[in-house]
């Protein structure tokens, strides 16, 4: 696929991409420059972050066109911000949990872009990124009790309950991450609900505030930018439960006599 074809994908109406959000670059920028990307949960997203500063982000299609869209959106973001790929300190990809294919799309894109360039690649959990985004959205100065949720289908959710400390930003798990039945999840919160919930919608006990953070790629990039290079986790998928598709035995394979 050439550059013109990728540009067609990113600009087509059905892609549902949002306009690129940019901020002016500081005269003397500080902090790690990180490219974040996520395709584990809809919508797909990419973002450029320097330290805690959000430079640009894009959201786009979730499905067969995601892979091509990611590459085209990154090119467009770099042009919009006047940055070059060689300036990146790290590429951070959402490693799940989420859809099996989406996780692999983001990780493969990150590893492919970094191949031969020497740019570090790391993996950031989707639930951690949701929790970070929730805390940032509230602007709360004290630690925040957050329940981060991703729809796992089959009447289950991927869940992480954590205490998010804003200064310095630190995520301390209280329970999870785990794959848990939706009814069991709701019952477990009846006597001790969290302060806020973020991510998938669930009928939680009254008093739990539902918040919406930034596109997941923004939080993924911010979390990676705050970490020392030698402490960033490897780009390894996190599924939390076995995939729905189980390889079968080929009918052409003969059984031994």
Query: Does 252 have pLDDT greater than 70?
Result: no
Q: Where in the chain is the domain with CATH 3.30.420.200?
A: 140-211
For the chain, what percent of residues have pLDDT higher than 90? Answer: 75
Q: Where in the chain is the domain with CATH 3.30.420.40?
A: 12-127+214-231
Nearest to 145 by CA among 194, 218, 90, 96: 194
Which pLDDT score is estimated for 245?
Answer: 58
Distance, CA of 221 to CA of 36 (rounded, Å): 4
Which pLDDT score is estimated for 173?
Answer: 97
Q: pLDDT class for 242, splitting at 50, 70, 90?
A: confident
- Cis peptide before 177, with omega less than 30 degrees from 0? yes
- Cis peptide before 97, with omega less than 30 degrees from 0? yes
User: What's the pTM value of the predicted model, to 2 decimals?
Assistant: 0.85
Query: Does 1 have pLDDT greater than 90?
Result: no
Contacts of residue 184, defined as CB under 8 A and 6 or more positions apart, other chains included, come to none
Strand order in the sheet with 33-38: 21-22, 53-60, 44-50, 33-38, 90-94, 120-124
Mean pLDDT value across residues 139-147: 95
Query: Does 6 have pLDDT greater than 70?
Result: no
Mean pLDDT value across residues 181-196: 94
Mean pLDDT value across residues 224-244: 91
Query: Does 122 have pLDDT greater than 80?
Result: yes
User: Quick one: fold of 140-211?
Assistant: Nucleotidyltransferase; domain 5 (3.30.420)
Query: Does 26 have pLDDT greater than 80?
Result: no
Q: pLDDT class for 23, splitting at 50, 70, 90?
A: very low
Tokens representing residue 32 in the block: 């790690």
How crowded is residue 81: how many other Cβ atoms within 10 Å of its Cβ? 19
Q: pLDDT class for 131, splitting at 50, 70, 90?
A: very high
User: Mean pLDDT for the chain?
Assistant: 86
Question: Do 123 and 98 form a contact (C-beta atoms < 8 A)?
Answer: no
Find the angle CA(190)-CA(191)-CA(194) to the nearest 5 degrees.
75
Q: Report, at the CATH architecture level, how domain 12-127+214-231 is classified.
A: 2-Layer Sandwich (3.30)
């Amino acid at each position: 696929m050439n550059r013109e074809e990728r540009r067609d994908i990113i600009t087509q109406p059905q892609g549902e991409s949002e306009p690129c959000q940019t901020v002016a670059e500081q005269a003397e920028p500080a902090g790690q420059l990180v490219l974040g990307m996520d395709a584990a949960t809809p919508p797909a997203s990419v973002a450029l972050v320097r330290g805690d500063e959000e430079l640009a982000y894009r959201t786009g299609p979730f499905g067969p066109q995601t892979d091509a869209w990611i590459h085209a959106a990154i090119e467009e973001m770099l042009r919009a911000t006047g940055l070059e790929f060689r300036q990146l300190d790290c590429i951070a990809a959402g490693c799940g949990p989420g859809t099996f294919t989406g996780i692999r799309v983001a990780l493969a894109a990150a590893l492919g872009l970094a191949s031969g360039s020497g740019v570090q690649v790391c993996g950031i959990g989707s639930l951690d990124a949701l929790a970070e985004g929730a805390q940032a959205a509230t602007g709360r100065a004290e630690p925040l009790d957050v329940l981060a949720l991703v729809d796992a289908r089959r009447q289950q959710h991927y869940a992480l309950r954590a205490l998010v400390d804003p200064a310095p930003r630190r995520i301390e798990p209280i329970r999870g991450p785990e794959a848990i039945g939706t009814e069991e999840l709701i019952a477990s919160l009846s006597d001790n609900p969290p302060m806020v919930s973020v991510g998938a919608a669930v009928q939680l006990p009254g008093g739990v505030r539902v918040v919406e953070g930034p596109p997941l790629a923004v939080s993924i990039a911010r979390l990676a930018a705050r970490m020392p290079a030698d402490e960033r986790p490897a780009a390894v998928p996190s599924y939390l439960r076995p995939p729905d598709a189980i390889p079968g035995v080929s009918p052409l394979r003969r059984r031994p006599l």
